Amino acid sequence: MTTKPRVFIPFLLVLSILLVSATLALSTTEDPERQIERCKQECRESRQGEQQERQCVRQCEEQEEKRQQGEETGKEGRKGEDPEKRLEECRRECREQAEGREQRECEKRCEEECKEHRGENKEEEKREEEKGEKRRGSDPFFFDEESFLHQVRTEHGHVRVLRNFLERSKLLLGVANYRVAILEANPNTFVLPSHWDAEALLFVARGNGLITRQCQDNKETQELRRGHIIRVRAGTIVSFVNKDRNEKLVIVMLFQTVATPGMLEAFVGAGGRNPESFYRSFSKPVLRAAFNTGVDKLERLFGRQKKGAMIEASQEQIRELSRRAGSEGLPRPFGESRRPFNLLDKRPSHSNRHGELREADGDDYPELRDLNIQVSHASINKGSMMSPNYNTEATTISIVVGGNGQVQIVRPRVSGQQEEGRGREEEEGRGREEEEGRGQQEGKEEEEQRQRGQRYQRVESEVSRGTTYIVPAGHPSVAVSSRNERLEVLCFEINAMNNRRTWLAGSNNILKQMDRMTKELAFDQPAREVDEVLNAPREEVFMAGPQERERESEGGEGRDGPLESILEFAGF
């Protein structure tokens, strides 16, 4: 008897999200006061030196201040601070703590971190971004770092979990069962074992490490390198090591919840007071019976660990942990997919001077078939863009893993009564554009557009490392790299089976394939004229971005033809 898909199994269930969403949040968050209190507590418990403790507590307090300022200014509780000052301080700490090569590496990390958190932004860019963030708050598809909550936060790294999608918008129902998280571990760090109540798919965005997966009958350790994709089944106990001496280990994690849709929790067994072991929650008599031992011994076992979920490991300890890599474990239960698959080692499916697209599916890593997910990685060169496109069946969850740029998504237009917050969105949108100096003309045009009852609207956002965005199936979108850095986007395509990406521009533009008569009828003009435009692009998938193109074509066809056509076309 073969297994059959049954509709009543999926018969799924969710709801009441408005009320749920409040609850959902909490699987990873707490109220701010408690969070800060815990933060300080963690500092005290995990201290290895007085100076470090002070530094740690100061960070907690900075975060508190930031919150009191209305949560408006910051990423990571550091943004409100002058970046130069912060960098200087970080470097000074390095000098105090380390020497020689270690010191230089430490300072390098400072700069890196600083870059990350400021994004190397100059004054005006920063203002841009703040506007961008405000905007993101009112559209449903973009999530910046503020949308992440700390699940773990120690001096050796952190795990940040993106809020449940349904907290943002009911339009994200289609991905409501997914959660995104990012783990960052400092060099020489061990992440304590835990299990999740969710299927996980991991992508190593940066660094070199080890992963150990353990279930009732099996255990194995694998090397992790940048580009690796690896699945962790629900309930599997997993621990990580950043074995690199210099570089951070950054892992992007996609969760598919199995217990309660949209709720995600990590359970730590082998811990103590911090991270708290869940064993401590069973009643004492039960524990005494379960371990057939006395409370004193149990307290010795589950009471010592106070350093937090991420701790420093010596090179010797890491060597011992590494020794097991790849050598242990029976083939089951991780089957043929024991080894991670390296997406970045794969030949690009599209590649030209503007960028590279790599895609992994079930043929590359069978677990992806099981999860019905495809993973792709787009690397868009400076000043270039990836062609507008849509996915036929897949809704995508994309995470920017490097660089910065801009993303536009086309969605059905909704009118004021129909979506809460849209008024605000539109107003801000208009306000923003005016601020950006495009002048009154466009604002007016947008007004007219709306009066004509147009069906589509654009949502857009500046994106940078950590920005997460959703593109629902069928919705056209485009990603553009900034002029100063390559944009790298990791994309999880949910419901990947039978999905195909459809290209809306470039030499493989789907419009080109229409027959002559359809073109004439659809565009209401001779096919020859249609083809003239459609056949102009010479490249596919990746191409010069707007700024790049303008520079290239400058002096060529002038500034885009007569003013009249600009005015007429302004409806764009």
Closer residue to a second copy in complex, CB, 176/230: 176
Residue list 326-345, contact with a second copy (CB under 8 A)? 333, 335-336
419-478 positions binding a second copy, by CB under 8 A? 419, 451-458, 460, 472-476, 478
Residue 448's identity, in one-letter code, is E
* Contact map string, positions 93 to 112, toward a second copy, x by CB under 8 A: --------------------
Which residue, 95 or 444, has its beta carbon nearer to a second copy?
444
CB-nearer residue toward a second copy: 21 or 342: 21
Shortest Å distance, C-beta 463 to a second copy? 14
Instruction: Give the residue, chosen from 101, 330, 441, 569, that forms a contact with a second copy under the rule CB under 8 A.
Output: 569
Residue 70 found at the interface with a second copy (CB under 8 A)? no
Instruction: Say which residues have a Cβ less than 8 Å from residue 178's Cβ, sequence separation at least 6.
Output: 165, 254, 255, 256, 257, 397, 492, 494
User: Contact 65/57 with Cβ under 8 angstroms?
Assistant: no
Indicate the residue among 147 and 256 with the shorter CB distance to a second copy: 256
- The one-character DSSP state at 440 is H
Give the Cα separation of 444 and 571 in Å (integer).
10
Piece in contact with a second copy (CB under 8 A), picked from 78-86, 95-103, 104-112, 554-562? 554-562
User: Per the omega criterion (within 30 degrees of 0), is the bond before 275 cis?
Assistant: yes
Which helix H or strand E contains 194, and what residues bound it? Answer: strand 189-196
Question: Is position 192 an interface residue for a second copy (rule: CB under 8 A)?
Answer: yes
| Main-chain dihedrals φ then ψ at residue 168, nearest 5 degrees | -80, -50
Question: CA 304, 281, 43, 194 torsion: positive or negative?
Answer: positive
Q: Which range binds a second copy by CB under 8 A, 55-63, 154-162, 298-306, 342-350?
A: 298-306
d(CA 203, CA 375): 9
Could you say whether residue 230 binds a second copy (CB under 8 A)?
Answer: no
Considering only the stretches 70-78, 93-101, 345-353, 514-522, report the one whose residues sit in contact with a second copy under the rule CB under 8 A. Answer: 514-522
Shortest reach from residue 98's CB to a second copy, in Å: 22
> In the range 483-512, which residues lie near a second copy by CB under 8 A?
494-495, 497-506, 508, 510-511
Told to check if 3 binds a second copy by CB under 8 A, we report: yes
CB of 11 to a second copy, least distance (A): 4
Pick the closer one to a second copy by CB: 104 or 416.
416
Residues 19-58 that bind a second copy (CB under 8 A): 19-20, 22-23, 25-27, 30-31, 34-35, 37-38, 41
Question: Does position 60 bind a second copy by CB under 8 A?
Answer: no
Please list every residue from 119 through 158 that binds a second copy, using CB under 8 A. Answer: none
The residue from 65, 108, 120, 258 that contacts a second copy (CB under 8 A) is 258
What is the 3 state secondary structure string of 291-351?
HCCCHHHHHHHHHCCCCCCEEECCHHHHHHHHHCCCCCCCCCCCHHHCCCEEHHHCCCCEE
Contact 163, 147 (CB under 8 A): yes
For residues 360 and 490, the answer to whether their CB atoms sit within 8 Å is no
The side-by-side arrangement of strands in the sheet containing 373-380 is: 142-143, 468-471, 395-402, 487-494, 373-380, 355-360, 350-352
Stretch that binds a second copy, among 111-119, 179-187, 188-196, 201-209 (CB under 8 A): 188-196
Which listed range, 58-66, 338-346, 363-371, 424-432, lies at the site for a second copy (CB under 8 A)? 363-371
Which residue in the set 177, 188, 379, 404 belongs to the binding site for a second copy (CB under 8 A)?
A: 177
Q: Select the residue interacting with a second copy from 83, 388, 431, 443 (CB under 8 A).
A: 388
Please count the residues of this chain forming the interface with a second copy, following the rule CB under 8 A.
209
Amino acid (one-letter) located at 446: E
Q: Is position 217 an interface residue for a second copy (rule: CB under 8 A)?
A: yes
Residue 540 CB, nearest approach to a second copy (Å)? 11
Residue 325 is encoded by which pair of tokens?
């890599």
Handedness of CA 53, 58, 64, 67 (dihedral sign): negative
What is the closest distance, in whole angstroms, from the C-beta atom of residue 257 to a second copy in the complex?
A: 7
- Identify whether the C-beta of residue 17 lies closer than 8 Å to the C-beta of residue 176: yes
Residue 267 exposure: Cα atoms within 13 Å on the Cβ side: 14
Smaller CB distance to a second copy: residue 284 or 353?
284
Shortest CA distance to 534 belongs to which of 517, 500, 510, 518?
A: 510
Question: Is the Cβ of residue 116 or residue 244 nearer to a second copy in the bound state?
Answer: 244
